[in-house]
Amino acid sequence: LHPIYAEMPVTIFEHMSGLARDLGAINLGQGFPDGPPPAELLRALTRAAMEQSHQYPPMAGLPELRRAVAGFYARIQGLDLAPESVVVTSGATEAIASAILAVVAPGDEVLLFAPAYDAYAPLVRRAGGKPVFVALKPPVWAFDAATIAGAITPRTRVIVLNDPLNPTGTVASPADLALLAGLCVAHDLFAICDEVWENVRFDGRAHASLLAQPGMARRSVKIGSAGKIFGATGWKVGWIVGAPEVAAVVGRAHQFLTFTTPPMLQWAVAEALDDPAIAPGCHAQWSVTRERLIAGLKQQGFCVLDNVATWFTCIDLHASGIALDDRTFSERAVREAGVASIPISALWEGEGRPDHIVRLCHCKNAAMIDEAVDRLGRWR
């Protein structure tokens, strides 16, 4: 058994969801909406299931979905992508794996920003690379030019940027993107841009892709997710976009991971992405639930960190007057208060790990949010 996996615990998301299931707790841990995705998407799925082929679709994705993804990004981000720039994957996690396998060679150093989504480092290691963590500092999670430049060595080949950032719900500024693109060009680095939260934004906050920065078109890929856009996480439909010659190479990694993605799901997502009434997504409803969770938490005396994107709201335990570390808080809150959460330290390797910040998922119905806030308030 490979030690990378033999010595690895199950993910914090699976761990907390398992506890929530076993204990009947309200699950504000793993990120997923409590309701169904848009009815139009489900109708498109039903039509596709009855009328389209159930056999292997093309390896890089249905032409209809590749075209729809390219059209979607042209519409919402002004990107000029050919359908050949798109590789459809079975979820963004597979896209992350395909991208890392396609670009990381043994001995390569890969810059990861902490907090980091938990799939990155193990995949980099399994590809023979070395993750090098650059800590972002709470509460604003800013990118610091000197710290990043100091982490770059002659072996650095790749950076992984998650923007908007899970778990903090923050978005890189234009200056951050210019800084990162400048470093990539100056040091000849490739960027894997995990932008699955690109459409889950609030308060009118803009988002631009690192891939669109000067000099980045041929040295980056961008990862997107239908699950996040439409609130259908179990569908596991994602994609990677990049210059056609880059996408072709990433596709070779993808062909030996999942090879294809269920065609009826691809048809339905293609139809929904093409329809401006459904895409760019469901964030309007989540804007309301986010505000409800934030207001409720504040009323119960919790210190809430600023967020403008994602399904997540973080609380600062110390500033809330709670003397527990984040893991202890999450482990006890699910058992004693009946509310599951995610301790940020589980998404952090390397220096500067905070142990006092907990992530809560806000894309839930009002009654669930109110009950969770009540329980946490009574228990704290």
Interacting residue ranges for ligand GLN, rule: CB under 6 A = 11, 13, 30-31, 93, 166
Closest approach, Cβ 93 to ligand GLN, in A, equals 6
Instruction: For residue 43, give both structure tokens.
Output: 């109708």
The nearer residue to ligand GLN, 71 or 138, going by C-beta atoms, is 138
Rg of the chain, C-alpha, whole Å: 20
CB of 369 to ligand GLN, least distance (A): 17
Tell me the two tokens of residue 118. Answer: 């938990």
Residue 236 CB, nearest approach to ligand GLN (Å): 9
Residue that the structure tokens 């994705």 belong to: 61
The two tokens of residue 106 are 């043994």
Q: Between residues 11 and 255, which has the closer beta carbon with respect to ligand GLN?
A: 11
- Least distance from ligand GLN to the Cβ atom of residue 336, Å: 22
Give the Cβ contact number of residue 361 at 10 Å.
27
Q: How far apart are the first and last CA of the chain?
A: 42
Task: Determine whether 16 is exposed, middle or buried from the number of CB atoms within 10 Å of its CB (0-12, 13-18, 19+).
Answer: buried
Residue carrying the six token digits 């778990």: 167
Residue 187: how many other CB atoms lie within 10 Å:
15
Which two three-digit tokens encode residue 211? 């891939």
Q: How far is the CB of 154 from ligand GLN (least distance, A)?
A: 33
Instruction: Tell me the torsion sign for CA atoms 15, 359, 272, 219.
Output: negative
Q: Nearer to ligand GLN by C-beta: 81 or 114? A: 114
Name 83's Cβ contacts closer than 8 Å, sequence gap at least 6.
63, 66, 67, 69, 70
Min dist CB 313 to ligand GLN, Å, is 13
Listed in sequence order, the DSSP H helices in 301-345 are 326-332
**Count of positions (residues) in the chain:** 380
Peptide bond into 115 cis (omega under 30): yes
Q: How far is the CB of 378 from ligand GLN (least distance, A)?
A: 25
Contact partners, residue 121, CB within 8 Å, separation at least 6: 112, 131, 349
Q: Please say which residue, 11 or 52, places its beta carbon nearer to ligand GLN.
A: 11
Structure tokens at 315: 């609380």
Asked whether 372 and 333 are in contact (CB, 8 A), the reply is no
Any idea which residue has 């969801």 for tokens? 17
Q: How far is the CB of 311 from ligand GLN (least distance, A)?
A: 8
Strand 238-242 relative to strand 220-225: parallel, antiparallel, unpaired?
Answer: antiparallel
Task: Give min distance, CB of 201 to ligand GLN, in A.
Answer: 16
Closer to ligand GLN by Cβ: residue 30 or 345 = 30
Whose Cβ is closer to ligand GLN: residue 30's or residue 168's? Answer: 30
- 315 neighbors 322 (Cβ within 8 angstroms): no
Closer residue to ligand GLN (CB): 66 or 222? 222
Nearer to ligand GLN, 90 or 166 (CB): 166
Cβ at position 30, least distance to ligand GLN in Å: 4
Q: Which is nearer to ligand GLN, 11 or 300 (CB)?
A: 11
CB-wise, 5 or 56, nearer to ligand GLN?
A: 5
